[in-house]
Structure 1
């Protein structure tokens, strides 16, 4: 059994879809031996701190129910270096396919 991972996909506007990200991340997880325990999709600005799906993923990581968070690129997780550093300081492993 591989590491437990959550897939997190985000788009910024309602006319966009998360499906390409989810498809690519699912394939990445299979190649990497990750056991995907959840797929979290969100339509929200990356600049927003209050993203419900991202907060749920962070809660899973903090509860040690997942070992990794899979994102298609770091800009899908957050828009600033400080945001990324804050996340990493919460002891999460963020894995990027790209």
Structure 2
């Protein structure tokens, strides 16, 4: 069953389990950033950016079921931040 982008973005939140999975990814990328910044003394901005994207992705998944619109806007925000970071890193 195919969904339109609007249906996919503004769907009901997936739940706490999915949100915690995304938060786990965020913690991992923040740890990577910390490792390279402190121990290797290099500037690893990609870990920081990806950690932030995963945090923004996790927030809509832990919202109550009746917050579909807010969840959709947060999903769009995570896409915008990810694309913006990609453009920033490429240029």
* TM tier relative to shorter chain: 0.3 to 0.5
Q: Which has the larger radius of gyration?
A: 2
Given the two structures, how large is their TM-score scaled by the length of structure 1? Answer: 0.33
Q: Which has a greater percent of helix?
A: 2
The alignment's TM-score, normalised by the length of structure 2, stands at 0.35
